[in-house]
Amino acid sequence: MKNEYLEAGRFNGVHGVNGDLKAECWCDNLGVLRNLKTIYIDANTPDKNQKVALKVIRCVPYKDLALIRVEGYDGPEKSKALKNRIFYAQRADIPLEDGCFFIADLIGLRVYDVDTGREYGRVADVSDNAASRLYEIRTEEGKTVYLPAIPRFIVETDLERGIGIRPVKGLFDEN
């Protein structure tokens, strides 16, 4: 079952007298975050899926962060209560282009060879580096392998079947 809410960032602190929140953006780009009209935080209940909606009044770039103003947090003292809180976006509020996937949906997918059917492991994490995204693949033996998420290696991605790859020789084999 896909999560209805996806991590979108974290509030790092307060900026200015109006209660703007400095926020890390965990989306592909700040434009995604700027288009959200509502963000969500955990409701602090035992049910981890229960969220509280926060209406976004403003979201603008600020250095390598975003400044977000939310309704009801109109001063530094009120806004401090959100410091270090992760905020979420509803899946339905983030449009995806064809062939694109949410990282949350890739985590746990099996990784297999499209030519032989051999299963190499499962996606444990996805990270960005300067050249491309990297899939961190955890093998059944507990080994961690990093695979660039580029068309040369990634042949297909199907959320039911997994990620079909053509690895370079030696990537998964001890030589």
Residue showing tokens 């900026």: 15
Q: Which two tokens stand for residue 125?
A: 């994490």
Q: Which domains does the chain have, with CATH numbers?
A: 5-92 (2.40.30.60), 103-165 (2.30.30.240)
pLDDT of residue 131 exceeding 80, the answer is no
Spatial strand order in the sheet of 110-113? 144-148, 133-138, 119-128, 110-113, 162-165, 154-158
Q: What is the pLDDT of residue 14?
A: 95
Place of tokens 């400044």: 67
**Rounded Cα distance, 57 and 34, in Å:** 10
List, for residues 76-130, the tens digit of each pLDDT value. Answer: 999 999 999 999 999 999 988 888 889 899 999 999 999 999 999 999 999 877 6
Is residue 175's pLDDT more than 50? no
Is the pLDDT score of 159 beyond 70?
Answer: yes
- CB distance 111 to 120 below 8 Å: yes
Separation of CA 52 from chain center: 19
In angstroms, the Cα distances linking 51 to 22, 28, 91, 133 are 21, 23, 13, 30
DSSP 152: T
Average pLDDT, the chain: 91
- Residue 46 — pLDDT band, cuts 50, 70, 90? confident
